[in-house]
Structure 1
Amino acid sequence: MSVSEALLDKYFKGQCSPEEKLQVLNYLNAIDDLPDHLLSQTEWEETNDAQLDELKSVEMFSAVKKETIAKVYLLKWIKIVSAAAILLAVLSIGLFNLNWSQRDSKITLASNKVSTPEKTNPINWKSVVNYTDHQQLVILPDGSTVKIFPGAELRYAIPFVKNKREVFLNGKSFFEISKDTNHPFVVYAKGIATTALGTSFTITALEKSKFIKVELHTGKVLVKNIDTVLNISAFSEVLLPGKELVYNSMLNRISVSDHKTLLAKDKNSSRDLNFQQASLVDVFDQLEKHYKVKIIYDRADLVEMSFTGIIKSTQSIDTILEEIAELNKLNQIKTAEGFLIRK
């Protein structure tokens, strides 16, 4: 870039327009030193209309040259400082954005980690309500069987949750539990939990009744209350075959009856029949005498089969034989003469 001597002359005289002044400044900013041929001492003297003495002319020439060069160096220093400031600002903004980007990335990853729920399998519940006037047989996922009495409801998960064999009862049901020592079977009924491994028992927990009854036929069960309501005393009872636990929820009181002998000893007795590990042959003989019916069976089919339980005098012989046959995996057939029991 070059500037004419005439334009430089106007600049030094202060006669430049703003555009011309900017052009001269850019030129002076681009050179390191002011060339002597552009503004020599002789030319400086010739541009003045007034006559100056030699000493004064030298002083004015030196002052103008010094001021002009100082302006050039000042402009160059300002440009360097400005460039450095701009570079620093750009680097600061870049680092700031990088830090926030990394922070946002971490926050996003953390948020994703926290908000991602574990995949769980949905629980399918099955509810069985017996609306009939007779018992209804239900086979549970583990092979256990339940005879639901009229009006009762049984709820359970399909399959059992985490191999926990748990069911919920409202009403009365007879349970025959498949044996599994690693997975206890639990029946929840009106704040009472009955735990068994491989037994048969009957639970009565009617909705409008204050009594909850657990009757054990075979094996062993643990009965305890799980109600956390205040002023309710905790209890835990182990029942053996032939025992019956009755819990009064109004009085918060339990009673356990233990019958080990056969209460009915003659065929005319109207009392309940209580059997304790009695062979099925003996049980059928007693039933024949008590109900005055004919029960036909093969003794070989009943070897090593026994029965423990209480038979109410109000129960029909059909229901009793059906339950005994169900417990021992036998078939019961009603005939013109009476009943036929066989494998």
Structure 2
Amino acid sequence: MKGFNKNLVKKYLNNNCTVEEANLVLHWFETKEGITFLEKDLSPEPLTGKNNLRALHFNAEKSINAIKENGAKLHILKPDTSITQPKNIFWNSSKIAASIILFIGLGLSIHYFYVESPNEKIKVAQNIDDEILKVTSKGQKTVFYLPDGSKVKLNAESSFKFPKTFAGKNRIVKLLGEAYIEVAKDPDHPFIVYSGEISTKALGTSFNISAYPEDNRINVALTTGKVVVGEHDNIVENGSFNNIFLVPGEKYSFDKKNKTNSKGKFEQEEIAWINGELIFKDASLKDLERELERWFDVEIKIKSYPANYKPYTGHHNNENLRNILENIKIASNINFELKGKKVIIR
């Protein structure tokens, strides 16, 4: 589980995750790393032949709907590809050892393939509804184009779902994690991004959305053009007094806990990642832990909080992890130990 947030998986398996968190975990289960986890790490026996997860029927979005309807419960069933329409989906802890098969029998198949980017392979899943899902793990970033010509830069530990062909009056995509999107102009077909509890609507513009399930806020930062941000139904139906319009340089921020929103200016460090820059401004140790784990695909363990820790400010352009840690050590009074993919901070 080296490239994914193991705490999210633990919460999922313990039936304690939110719908957003479950969505991200389900998408990860479709990746090579996630499949390996299901087949080897969770199951005492390898899954082969008809029981192989790659042959199972699975659809993340409908799984999320099932979670909502059943109180965010994890459904664990014995592998059986012959199931078509189960009448009762239920929790059965005795079948954990068999493996996890999530909401099979929804009548949809997924076919997997890879697309190459300069530095890594990004997993893509295409189902019979002609939707494509791209998923990045920690330490991965990728760039791709949508059917309308829009350009997407997908940050680490994120997923992006879009149709093979845009149809209807709206161009709708779905994001978990972070992406910078340069929307192709089409005044007759608004571009709508679903990200957690909010949606962002644009015609032809460039903006960044950060909507990681484990973060407290969803942020939308606009660099060019205009967008409107609000609740899903209000955005699609063109209007509500709750919707907020942004102009370049402005940011919308939604507090997931308090269900409140605000608008203001965004800082350059919020979108620096698209140029390979990692910028910190008065970062806490927890902020550093979260960002460095995503950026470098490492596990950071804070043994003890340094008594004289100073919030860290620094600008790093395509630097390696050790160099960044050395800078933090000097500026913020920490000690660290780097061994392979593990960092211990004291």
Interval containing the TM-score (normalised by the shorter chain): 0.3 to 0.5
TM-score, normalization: structure 2? 0.39
TM-score (norm 1): 0.39
Higher helix proportion (structure 1 or 2): 1
Larger radius of gyration: 1
